[in-house]
Structure 1
């Protein structure tokens, strides 16, 4: 199987991620119209627990990707199959256990967390999804380890298609029974998407496994130990990130009640934070995750083959891409928060100020994700977990203190996210310089993209106002200004020499 370069792999996953994120957003448009902020609140309350499973188990596909990349580098085909088998076994055990717990204790969970009782149905509906997600995760890790990102990209697309079609369809069918049942139907879309993705990945795997089965594969228990040794720290780190979302689902509604809001008002504000602002924030984060997925196997291969110069080149390139994504995303979502929210959610602009402030967290989240992937690739899996845990504690404290203050309310959660990820990103950068002995040129990596982004957003805002004054149509003005902004930014990247052809060829295409 032909390997893909860092830039090609990132591009493939990036395009797929953006496309699927937009599909996810458009999934929410009819859903928002069907069940409103209240129903979205029920859906969003159930989702963080599902996200915790995704986070807890996410270390396994990353570990699979890393181990398979290393074994493929030394042509250990039997080892590749052993890693895949052990990972599937481990994920199935985890998923069945997690789903069983959620199904058995859903009512108690809703009571303990002081959620609206109507959120129970969505929690039950989403509880079965982990079983289907587990197989999908392992097979994605398998193909990523072989440095082929195309199957992952296609499976992401199919997963989101299944989620949209079945989720919206079930929500519509169940709406006459009540908003809470409609929200549960939407939650079932996660399982449908997982099934569709699984079917494709299994078919794809059946087509390539002949390249690895040359003789009977012997059982090797050491593989499970190695898998767990890599996966546990990564899972803990991802779990901390998932716990940040869970903390919001627990603390924010409760603390909003303390701030003087009633249950319905608290649910609506929470929905605006997680169902609108966070959803739009996740679009640029999809590009960052694509970069991270491509980074781990490529850096792992260079590291195990002791290609120190190549490792440094990939790190420099990855950080540059991270800043190129992060800075314009932050400025765009902040300055264009209202028209973007109006465009996506068809006039439902409630929460646009939350998006304006939460967008500040984007650069810090992206840098934290990218540096974590780099450190994982060179075998430093535990330290970024500790750094993220420190950020999580800080976020929790800030959320706990600020949200009950009536003048701050839900914005306290946004402030907590910004500060928490800033601390994590800063600690990771220090760790990177220390362990890899890398001298980072911040002018080329961050300042140049910053200037390009500032000029771009000035042009976007000016053009938006000009078009709006002539058309009086907020959506047309938003679309035109964003498209022109993308062209301006791409032109400025070239003019400022942020990426040159020779640079791209040397750092990305050559192996």
Structure 2
């Protein structure tokens, strides 16, 4: 056991490796979709995005949910012999689950693809099914390292896994497109990239692993281990899975609804591909909130156990204010520049209205992710999980109602409705668990003023830049220059205002990932140099 007292310096050192690796992994996960879409177009992107939620769910459940469950059970083991038994039971149980899910996916792939309205997706589902066979070893190895606080192998494995995955997907797709392969064959190559990436994650962990599954074991309650593995993995994965589950709903409803409306299959595929452009934009937008959940939640859990002082309250308030501020700024900023970002990244401005609406999911998810993580970390599992599935159910019915009327705009609205219900429900429940003032009226007032100022600078600049400054160069380059300069201007104005009025104290910036530089800027702006 580690007896060292936690402080800010110790915490930042302990969290930095995993935080940096998480940022790299999340950035790669979002960014690779842009060159992929550029290679295969909207139809090819539709094909990949239809199937990806199936394998994405297993990736999250394995690399996060089951790994945390294994680490918790190992950390609570009373002896080395008991730990060995837990590992063996976990490996056997997960191996059984993986074989079961693999078989189900292989057998029911034709049924699932037909249910999505596109029988040709069967080969992609079957290729992606192999990823579940990697699940047991990956979860047990990650859990073993996490239980001892050794995060370096986990961080290295996460990055290696994503780098191999992205490289194989992009290189394989480029080769397949050059060879004239069909979009479905190209999508199959992308699925295999995900499988190989997970396998490389296992190989990386094995290089670090020295403990063998040998030697004497201690008798433990096997059913208890199985039950805990299942419950813990599902509860801790719930918030991370919610975006993928919303995507899965879209896979089964959007394309089918467009076809039922009388839109041709080709056009429906392209429309769904345009709609799916919103996924990488949202993933990039929620990077701060998801990283925040990873970095600050352990600190909250530590201070919650303290009897003296205010305990975790200041950290809870900081988490909420940071998630609210950066989630709102990312959603509003992206919405303002979206048409230009759309063309910069995806070649055309198609579907910009739907994508503007889609991007407001960033704000709601920025609240949902850290709040859910804090509640689950405090043992409040049932209500957050229930709220997540209520929101998911609302998304299903809203899609059925709105997509036939408003096409992909309806799907974007439906997603926001589902996330609003989850976010509002979580906030009400959160206030019951911690009856404290999460942010002051002053915070909201200055945030609104900073947003108005950001818009007042961005909108005239984009009109001038697009209409006069960059009108003599190619459309896509002009859009890129307009978008990037607008982002720099808008972000600068927004940050200057919130720093000038000190919405965050310098010591609070220090607690956030990479907040040290922002603290220095704030000190300079407020003339409080040391």
Q: Do both share a fold (TM > 0.5)?
A: yes
**Normalised by the size of structure 2, how large is the TM-score?**
0.82
State the distance in 2 between where 1:453 and 1:82 align.
55
Residue 186 in structure 1 maps to residue 190 in structure 2: yes
Pairing 1:12-161 to 2, within 5 Å after superposition: 16-54=21-59, 56-57=61-62, 58-64=64-70, 71=76, 87-111=90-114, 113-140=115-142, 151-161=153-163
State the distance in 2 between where 1:425 and 1:298 align.
23
Higher relative contact order (CA 8 A, sep 6+): 1
Gap change, CA 1:226 and 1:44, over 3 Å in 2: closer
| Structure 1 residues 450-471: Cα deviation after superposition (integer angstroms, max 9, x where no partner) | 4334433433444444444323
State the distance in 2 between where 1:498 and 1:302 align.
23
1:350 is matched with 350
Residue 289 in structure 1 maps to residue 287 in structure 2: no
**Normalised by the size of structure 1, how large is the TM-score?**
0.84
Conserved? CA contact 2:33–2:280, under 8 Å:
no
Pairing 1:279-428 to 2, within 5 Å after superposition: 279-303=280-304, 309-345=310-346, 347-405=347-405, 408-428=406-426
State the distance in 2 between where 1:118 and 1:268 align.
16
| Structure 1 residues 131-152: Cα deviation after superposition (integer angstroms, max 9, x where no partner) | 3355445555555666676555
- Aligned residue pair count: 496
Conserved? CA contact 1:151–1:204, under 8 Å:
yes
- Which has the higher Rg, Structure 1 or Structure 2? 2
How far off is 1:190 after superposition? 0.6
Conserved? CA contact 1:302–1:311, under 8 Å:
yes
Gap change, CA 1:387 and 1:114, over 3 Å in 2: closer
Stretch deviating more after TM superposition (290-299 or 75-84)? 75-84
| Structure 1 residues 24-77: Cα deviation after superposition (integer angstroms, max 9, x where no partner) | 455334432332211222111111222333455553234346667x759xx988
Conserved? CA contact 1:59–1:234, under 8 Å:
yes
Secondary structure at the aligned position of 2:32 is classed as: helix
Decide which of 422, 427, 430 is 2:428's aligned counterpart: 430
Gap change, CA 1:13 and 1:467, over 3 Å in 2: farther
How far off is 1:308 after superposition? 7.7
Structure 1 residue runs of 5 or longer lacking an equivalent are: none
State the distance in 1 between where 2:81 and 2:501 align.
48
| Structure 1 residues 109-157: Cα deviation after superposition (integer angstroms, max 9, x where no partner) | 212x143222222222211123335544555555566667655544333
Secondary structure at the aligned position of 1:126 is classed as: helix
Gap change, CA 1:138 and 1:297, over 3 Å in 2: farther
